[in-house]
């Protein structure tokens, strides 16, 4: 039950994109078509889940054990970029089609602030290993959900008659604002 709450909190009520403002760049940049948005979401979910696990170990067994809190940012970003690199190599070895599908998106994930944000939230929340993993997975699912919804709307918008000054980024931001309002309806459902 507790784990379900962590999952729902990370994916819906405190959606990383729409409520926490993490990962706005890919949200605006890679959300033109549903398939690419879904691939990006999938890759991000994978990296989020795995780096949540790794970050928990780094925090518990290295930073806390040796009293190095000031190295947190440097350590986390190194772990994440190393992990993204590793993931890329592993995916390439394991599944060629998956690598082709995710390929170009993987390197971009390093600078996705949703990943570093997730890493920094884990010690703040004091989650256990299992909870951290679920939190990472939930965050990824919520990210994918927002990406796909956004891409779906933008696909339709391509045929709409948008006033010229609003074309491109302004319209995307206004749609995102409306989605954020819709997601506000979930707030309060789970006390986080």
- DSSP 8-state symbol, 109: G
**Closer by beta carbon to other proteins, 35 or else 168:** 168
**Closer by beta carbon to other proteins, 60 or else 110:** 110
The DSSP result for 34-82, as a single string, is HHHHHHHHHHHHHHHHHHHHHHHHIIIIIITTTT-GGGHHHHHHHHHHH
Cα–Cα dist 84/171, whole Å? 32
Residues 5, 38, 72, 145: which binds other proteins (CB under 8 A)?
72
Q: Which stretch binds other proteins (CB under 8 A): 42-50, 58-66, 74-82, 88-96?
A: 74-82
Instruction: Please tell me whether residue 170 binds other proteins under the rule CB under 8 A.
Output: yes
Contacts of other proteins in 98-127 (CB under 8 A)? 108, 110-113, 115-117, 120-121, 124
Contact yes or no for 192/9 (Cβ under 8 A): yes
Q: Binding residues for other proteins, how many (CB under 8 A)?
A: 47
Question: Between the CA of residue 9 and those of 14, 68, 91, 108, what are the distances in Å?
Answer: 6, 30, 29, 26
Cα–Cα dist 162/160, whole Å? 6
**Closer by beta carbon to other proteins, 94 or else 160:** 160
Residues 28, 98, 148, 192: which binds other proteins (CB under 8 A)?
28
Residues that bind other proteins (CB under 8 A): 18-26, 28-30, 70, 72-74, 77-78, 81, 108, 110-113, 115-117, 120-121, 124, 164-174, 176-178, 180-181, 184
């Amino acid at each position: 039950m507790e784990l379900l709450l962590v999952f729902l909190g990370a994916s819906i009520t405190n959606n990383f994109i729409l409520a926490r403002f993490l990962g706005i760049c890919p949200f605006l940049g890679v959300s033109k078509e549903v398939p690419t948005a879904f691939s990006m979401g999938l890759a991000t979910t994978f990296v989020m889940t795995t780096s949540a696990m790794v970050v928990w170990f780094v925090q518990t067994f290295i930073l806390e054990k040796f009293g190095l809190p000031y190295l947190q940012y440097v350590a986390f970003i190194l772990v994440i970029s190393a992990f993204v690199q590793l993931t890329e190599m592993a995916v390439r070895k394991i599944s060629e089609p998956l690598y082709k599908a995710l390929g170009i998106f993987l390197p971009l994930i390093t600078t996705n602030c949703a990943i570093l944000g997730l890493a920094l939230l884990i010690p703040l929340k004091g989650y256990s290993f299992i909870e951290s993993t679920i939190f990472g997975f939930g965050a990824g699912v919520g990210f994918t959900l927002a990406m796909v919804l956004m891409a779906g709307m933008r696909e339709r918008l391509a045929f709409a008659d948008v006033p010229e000054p609003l074309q491109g980024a302004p319209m995307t931001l206004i749609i995102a604002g409306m989605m954020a309002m819709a997601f506000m309806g979930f707030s309060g459902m789970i006390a986080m």
